Amino acid sequence: MGRYINYSIDIPTGNTTYNVFWAADKLSEQQDVEAGVNVIVNNKPAATVKCSGKNIVNNMEGVELKKSE
């Protein structure tokens, strides 16, 4: 119910977490999408890799993953 729609999934492994994200402005005529992966090491941001291009596909909606403990 807002202007923005976003999805993210955290994938932890050891002391590193990969946060895969996708976001879009629903009211934008161009509907620009921002997507990529944030890398967090020891709970500190280490890097962000952004997707580029116009045909970024989001398949995260409705995915049921095991909840973190």
Exposure of 61 by Cβ count < 10 A (0-12 exposed, 13-18 middle, 19+ buried)? exposed
Cα–Cα dist 6/2, whole Å: 10
Place 68 in a pLDDT band, splitting at 50, 70 and 90.
low
Cα–Cα distance list, 5 to 2, 25, 26 (Å):
7, 7, 7
20 close to 60: Cβ distance less than 8 angstroms: yes
Amino acid at 10: D
Q: Which pTM value belongs to this model?
A: 0.79
Q: Which residue has the higher pLDDT, 45 or 61?
A: 45
Tokens of 10: 């955290």
Place 27 in a pLDDT band, splitting at 50, 70 and 90.
confident
Q: Which of 2-11, 24-33, 35-44 has the lowest mean pLDDT?
A: 24-33
Quick one: average pLDDT of 4-27?
A: 92
